Structure 1
Amino acid sequence: MDRRDFLKTTSAVAAMTSARRLMAATDAKRQPELIKTENAKAGSSFQLTRMRPDSAKSYRTSLIEGYCSRQSVKAGEKMDIYVSTRPVARFNIEIFRMGYYGGAGARHMTTLGPFAGKEQPVPEMADKRLRECQWEASTTLTIPPDWPSGVYLGRLSTIPEAADKPYWQSYIVFIVTDDRPADILFQCSDNTWQAYNRWPVNESLYTDPRAAHAPGVSVSFDRPYGKYVQIFDNPQSMGSGEFLLWEYPLCYWLEKEGYDVTYCSNVDNLNPANLARAKTMISVGHDEYWDMRQYANVKQAIADGLSVLWLSANDVYMVTPFTPNAKGEANRRLTRETCYGEFREEEKEAYSKVLGPFENPGPDERDIIGARTTVPFNGGGDWTCAKPEHWLFEGTGMKKGDSIAGLVGWEFHGDPDTARPGLEVVAEGNVWASGTRLGKYAATVYEGPKKNIVFNATTIFWSQGLSDPPGHMIPWSHFSRPHGPDERVQQMTRNALKRAIG
């Protein structure tokens, strides 16, 4: 063997050895039975019992409210928890991991406290209508090494001074993420939770007096979540963002089914490695607000072979870059810049009446979804099968024209990218905004370059067809509503996951 052949052989052996070590390390991190094992543990009741908004028109409860220093955190890392009580009261924090747990919907992980409460200041409104708290931390939580990735709720409860005094409650919410390879990456739409959060008075990305969608408005993750503000009044959601309405039914169902799932927040997908560790990413519910870096990373991940299931709608629609907070902590503010989607000329006038004078520098979100938000961009309708021979419908018994009542809403995708080779419209039909104004939706599937798939379910309501867990309320909007769990929605989701996971 001459020197050149020797070097080639040595290099090949070294590369093979390195690859084997990498595979061994990856296999060691895989825990495909983790979720099944976790859900075999005893469940707990996590719901709020006593909650009271400050007034009939208030979105907050100053009796007890709080927030976390991070959107997501890993085992071994620290997270500050900030709580305010008015009047001053002692309190404790019960931490729950959300899942199936034999139908209970959560597992009690620990109780923190009791703590001495204090009234913390409501921040003055700053530039860009920003309300950003700089509260004193009530406690610091180090995430234990045995806490699995998931969505965690902290139930804040005041401790009465006497037996004849009431107690009051609200939630905090955070996501425990990890680095392990998994079949499914469940991305919570927490950017959108914060975009609609009106704490403390009426400060969201929608409440600028200039226009409902005025650019240049900021919101901060450094503040409590008020109650859920869209579709219907839901005080039981106080402090939990929009998780209990949109993400929770899918979380409950996936863990009931025993899928290998790990969780993340929107901000975690600023890191391409977070996407690379999964076979498929699921976008859930209402995933409207994105940083451009998220878009670029997901687009590249699809090119690299990641499957994406958009069990959601109104997705990837507004540009909201992450920026640091006043302390310099990264990715704690969102600022609305502009509309994200590719407007058609005939739609610009209609959009400008609602959204303001937006220019459109953004890419076409159909590149990563297959369809997009259209005018009218909300409404309600039935989800109607258009291509029963497609693999998506295997085992559902659905025929062309068969419908799932009320499954489309309250926002949806239409205008499918029919120029894309291989894109298939699997469901399509009508929606009616305000109960009367006609719109068109389309559910789509296309194949990525490595036999991966991109499925656009086209509706925020999709998860409503999967489960109706404890503490969840079925939504209603535009004089239309989904009917709750449906075996056909469950089977289509299984079919999509089977293709996506392989």
Structure 2
Amino acid sequence: MGTGVNRRWESGTLAHSVSDPFGQGPLPWLRSPDQYVADGGVPWYVSVDAPGQQPLTAPPPAPPVGTPANSDDVVQQIKGFASAGVHRPGGAVDFRVTVNPPREFGVDVYRIGHYGGDGARQMTSSPLIGGISQPAPLVVGRTVSCHHWWQSWRLQIPSHWRPGAYVAVLTTADNRHRSHVPFTVRDAASARPPELLLVLPDVTWQAYNLFPEDGRTGASLYHAWDDLGGLVGESEAAVTVSFDRPHAGAGLPLHVGHAYDFVRWAERYGYDLAYTTATDLHAGLVDPTRYRAMVFPGHDEYWSEPMRRAVEQARDAGTSLVFLSANTLYWRVELSAGPSGEPHRLLNCRKRQRVQPGGPAAGLHGSASALWRDAGEPEQLLLGVQYAGSVPVAAPMIARNTGHWLWAGTGLHEGDEVPGLVAGEADHYNPRVPLPRHAERILLAHSPYRDSAGRRRHQQTSLYRALSGAYVFAAGTFAWSPALDRPGHTDARIQRATANLLDHLCKEA
């Protein structure tokens, strides 16, 4: 593959990053002799002096010589993924890993959390494992799957481990290359339910996954490659993608940092969290009505009908909903079994493409696209606001109704600005779309910005109370979660407002 093709290959993840002003880049782990950073950058997950931290003034120390580089998707020096299953303390999680050329590798397992500002804690390390070069990914149409890879290592999850967001860091024994595998440890089935249920958006993560970013075979619901190694758009992208494959690039999903920002902040202040995934919601493996509130901490764009119905039923039973991003509940998807028969391993969404009727990607008969809006159920019916568009240049959020309890103690007054908080993508109230049934409703921000065509738009932050007594909060911007614990983006006023919200929901429930 020539140099020009390599450059196009490297543009794959960057093509998605235009919608995320908090692009991650290569991902380091812990401030220790083993850390690695890119171009002297700051580790994206590290809380330096939150709350209310200011942008860092001194560069971090340079990484030590010989620090592992991230594996790429062309050579695939080391790549892996976690196999299907619901992982709980006392259970196990299996990893399937390819190493090219074959050599030994190790696995270090971290749990995301505050941990004194480190951002994660190492939980265990594997012995050296004999790595093999797994078979090439299977490709059918635009769908790429590695379900046929051999199991490489089984992690027995100790019964004392806390539920949470975990990352397995794969490193070749020669310390030259590294990759990452995210997985979630759920609560024990018999455990007392915590107050808050955190939903990690694994369905949306897969929609963006372009693995392998090799200029030839990789595809997401957004992009694929033409015969010359050029990146093509949605009209030629996949309509079905598999969970049975690594994530592209460094091995962590695009937008994963948005969820981890909330995790670090919430655990710093002792919030009682349970952990689940969007796939669990779809499969009916979690009862949301057991919790006082459900928190959707990151970009959560792709929803199946069972996911939506579970959340609606929870709201109507009195469970509050907290959406800390924007462009939520936008595309309607189906989950189907993988080639080996394991359920919910294929994500199907035709976007605006034409596909054969009757297949899982076909969507509802007669719908112009796979948008929930075209299915007759716009997202505003659940969220109270809905997607307005992208925000090419970050704009200030303009606080409104600052006498409301959510803004108490923030110091914000009517019309005050929170710089840079409208970023990435934004939601607004559409007066032509029905609102959910509610007992009370308020808009807490009304912020002008310019879209990519230069047109004036408005972002809005919404809070309504359903007839059941449940609250539904929608931040309406990508930048809310990063404002909780992202170096250079943290804002003490948003931290306090979020604490006000969660405290109120837990007390009111």
> Which interval holds the TM-score relative to the shorter structure?
0.7 to 0.9
Report the equivalent of 1:223.
Answer: 245
Answer yes or no: is 1:241 the counterpart of 2:290.
Answer: no
The residue that corresponds to 1:176 in the other structure is 185
CA 1:97–1:211: 2 relative to 1, 3 Å = closer
C-alpha distance 196-94 of structure 1, shift in aligned 2 (>3 A):
same
Structure 2's unaligned 5+ residue stretches are: 1-29, 37-66, 227-231, 353-367
1:380, 1:432 within 8 Å by CA — same for their partners in 2?
A: no
1:167 to 176, 185, 204: 176
Q: Which amino acid aligns with 1:451?
A: G
Whether 2:194 is the aligned partner of 1:185: answer no
> Are residues 1:298 and 2:274 paired?
no
**What residue identity is the alignment partner of 1:206?**
Y
Q: Give the Cα separation in 2 of the matches to 1:152 and 1:490.
A: 24
Task: Give the number of equivalent residue pairs.
Answer: 413
Residues 333-352 of structure 1 aligned to structure 2 (within 5 Å): 333-338=346-351
Residue 499 of structure 1, aligned match among 493, 498, 504: 504
Note the 1:188-267 alignment, pairs <5 A. 188-201=200-213, 202-208=218-224, 211-212=233-234, 217-227=239-249, 238-242=250-254, 244-267=256-279
Contact 1:177 1:262 in 2 (8 A): yes
Give the corresponding residue for 1:102: 116
2:368 aligned with 1:363 = no
Distance 1:242 1:60 in 2: 19
Q: Deviations over 1:443-491 (max 9, x none)?
A: 100012232211111112111111126xxxxxxxxxxxxx511110001
The question of whether the paired residues in 2 share the 8 Å contact of 1:285 and 1:461 is answered with no
Amino acid at match of 2:280: D
User: What TM-score, normalized by structure 1, do the two folds share?
Assistant: 0.77
**Does 1:388 pair with 2:388?**
no
d(CA) in 1 for partners of 2:168 and 2:161?
Answer: 14
SS in 1 for 2:198: strand
Which of 418, 425, 445 is equivalent to 1:427? 445
Q: Distance in 1 between matches of 2:166 and 2:277?
A: 12
In the alignment, structure 1 segments of 5+ residues that lack a partner are: 1-42, 161-165, 228-237, 340-354, 470-482
C-alpha RMSD over aligned residues: 2.5
Kept in 1, the 8 Å contact 2:304–2:332? The answer is yes
Identity %: 30
Counterpart selection for 1:400 from 409, 414, 422:
414
Q: Residues 242, 72 of structure 1: CA spacing in aligned structure 2 closer, same or farther, 3 A cutoff?
A: farther
State the 1:437 CA deviation: 3.9
Q: Report the more deviating stretch, 424-433 or 271-280.
A: 271-280
Give 1:143 deviation, angstroms.
1.9
Residue 463 of structure 1 is matched in structure 2 by 481
Q: Larger helix proportion, structure 1 or 2?
A: 1
- The C-alpha deviation readout for 1:10-54, integer Å capped at 9, x for no partner, is xxxxxxxxxxxxxxxxxxxxxxxxxxxxxxxxx885855422454
Mapped to 2, the partners of 1:499 and 1:128 lie a distance apart of 47
Q: Distance in 1 between matches of 2:477 and 2:75?
A: 31
Quote how far apart the aligned CAs of 1:379 are.
Answer: 5.8
| Contact in 2 for aligned 1:272/1:297 (Cα 8 Å) | no
**Cα offset, 1:249, TM superposition:** 1.2
Alignment of 1:3-18 (within 5 A): none
Query: In the alignment, what sits opposite 2:80?
Result: 66
Letter in 2 for 1:331: H
Aligned mate of 1:444, from 440, 443, 462: 462
1:175 counterpart letter in structure 2: T
Distance in 1 (CA, whole Å) between partners of 2:298 and 2:370 is 27
What is the distance in 1 between the residues matched to 2:316 and 2:494? 28
Mark the CA change 1:110 to 1:486 in structure 2 (over 3 Å): closer, same or farther.
same
> Contact 2:349–2:370 at 8 Å: present in 1 too?
no
Change (3 A) 1:101 1:401: same
Residue 428 of structure 1: how far off its partner (Å) = 1.1
In structure 2, distance between residues paired with 1:112 and 1:357: 43
In structure 2, relative to structure 1, the CA distance for the partners of 1:64 and 1:414 (3 Å cut) is: same
Q: Distance in 1 between matches of 2:474 and 2:74?
A: 34
- Give 1:411's aligned amino acid: E
> Within 2, Cα distance between the matches of 1:47 and 1:453?
41
Deviates further, 124-133 or 99-108? 124-133
Contact 1:285 1:462 (C-alpha < 8 Å) held by counterparts:
no
Deviation per residue, 1:221-270 (Å, 9 max, x gap): 1111113xxxxxxxxxx112236521111111001001111111111112
SS of structure 2 residue aligned to 1:488? helix
Distance 1:285 1:71, change over 3 A: farther
Superposition deviation, residue 381 in structure 1: 2.1
SS of the residue corresponding to residue 157 of structure 1 reads strand
Counterparts of 2:308 and 2:370, CA distance in 1: 23
- Alignment partners' CA distance in 2, 1:220 and 1:206: 14
Partner secondary structure for residue 155 of structure 1: strand
In the other structure, the counterpart of 2:494 is 489
Amino acid in structure 2 at the alignment position of 1:69? S
Distance change in 2, residues 1:494/1:167 (3 Å): same
Q: Give the residue type in structure 1 aligned to 2:151.
A: A
Aligned to 2:45: none
Greater RCO, CA 8 A, separation 6+:
2
* 1:434, distance to aligned residue in structure 2 (A): 3.4
* Distance in structure 2 (CA, Å) of the matches to 1:197 and 1:60: 15
Give the AA of the match of 1:226: A
| Cα 1:192/1:427, change in 2 over 3 Å | same
SS at match of 1:373: strand
**Is the 2:391–2:422 contact (alpha carbons within 8 Å) kept by the matching residues of 1?**
no
Closer, same or farther in 2 for the Cα pair 1:424/1:360, shift >3 Å? same
Q: Within 2, Cα distance between the matches of 1:91 and 1:485?
A: 36
- Deviations, residues 307-355 of structure 1 (Å, cap 9, x unaligned): 111001110111121111111011111011458xxxxxxxxxxxxxxx9
2: CA distance, partners of 1:415 / 1:131: 39
Which letter does structure 2 place at the counterpart of 1:304?
A
1:466 partner letter:
L
Deviation of 1:141 after TM superposition, in Å, equals: 2.1
Letter in structure 1 aligned against 2:475: A
Structure 2 length-normalised TM:
0.76
Alpha-carbon distance, 1:129 to partner: 3.1
**Aligned residue identity for 1:193:** W
CA distance in 2, matches of 1:418, 1:443: 17
8 Å CA contact 1:188–1:247 kept in 2: the answer is: yes
Contact 1:61 1:226 in 2 (8 A): no
